[in-house]
Amino acid sequence: MVTKENIKDNAELFFDLGAQSRPSVISVVGAGGKTSTIFWLAQLFHASGRRVVVTTTTQMFLPDAAYPVIFCREAAALPSHYLKLPILTCFHSWKAQEGKARGFSASAIDALAAREECDVILVEADGAHGLPLKAPDEHEPCIPESSCCVIAVTGGHMLGEKTGAENVHRWPLFADITGLTADEPLTFGHLLRLIRHPQGAFKNVPPGSRRIWLLNQFSHSENRLAEDELNSLLRNGDMDAIWLGAILERPPIMRRFVR
């Protein structure tokens, strides 16, 4: 069940994502590297010859790379030639005060997914104010029903670090779910509670969606995870895959656990 080798074949990652279907709507939630994860995935899919649309159901920063950016009222009404671009970033409007683009409703993205020109739609479906950890509020996350996969990101580098409102978004909710107290070091057990809790990291995931837990920046942590705990998550059906790595490093995924 456990694969310890470095990931060399992107086809394995595409299998985890359930990305054989077309279009593949993949939503990314949580905290600690959502935007970086989305644009890493965009590059992977582009390299495999698939057309990619990047968008959000909340707000997100624009990419540093020179990808085309389109603002429109209805994503599903875009002219075909835009959807045939290799990588397109598409948003509803620009929020100058925040310096971010505002995205679409989940239902609007579901409508976009019905367009035959779409291969892959990558959706940032959560917000965390740039912090490495979070718990979802009542209205979060906002995940399209058409999502074939949801990736929950957590900042793995926070293991062993003290936590509180300064580094956890929605700290009171996070503390309630995990049992943490202010300035208490974060343990793997706390993250497991966040992952397993019905109001935790995988809240609002549509039925049938694959679930992937990404511990980002995990290579920076000196903590050793118990493999039996990870395998338990897979055996119990809590998720379909677990990725350990650091998205901005190479290789991005160092270890992969699959069901």
pLDDT digits (tens, 9 = 90+) for 202-249: 999 999 999 999 999 986 556 667 788 888 889 888 899 999 999 999
CA distance 189 to 181: 14
Query: How high is the pLDDT of residue 222?
Result: 60
Q: How many residues does the chain have?
A: 259
pLDDT digits (tens, 9 = 90+) for 91-120: 999 998 889 999 999 999 999 999 999 999
pLDDT digits (tens, 9 = 90+) for 125-146: 999 999 999 999 999 999 999 9
Query: How high is the pLDDT of residue 4?
Result: 40
CATH number of 2-258: 3.40.50
Q: Where are the domains of the chain?
A: 2-258
Query: How high is the pLDDT of residue 5?
Result: 42
pLDDT above 80 (res 65): no
Burial class (CB in 10 A: 0-12, 13-18, 19+), 231: middle
Q: How many CA atoms lie within 13 A of 108 on its CB side?
A: 20
Query: How high is the pLDDT of residue 220?
Result: 59
248, two tokens: 């901005």
pLDDT digits (tens, 9 = 90+) for 4-63: 444 445 788 998 998 877 789 999 999 999 999 999 999 999 999 999 999 999 999 887
Question: Coil, strand or helix: which one is 121?
Answer: strand
Report yes or no: 135 and 173 within 8 Å, Cβ to Cβ.
yes
Query: How high is the pLDDT of residue 219?
Result: 66
Q: What is the model's pTM? A: 0.94
Nearest partner of 36 among 243, 247, 227, judged by Cα: 247
Name residue 184's amino acid: E
CA distance 65 to 216: 21
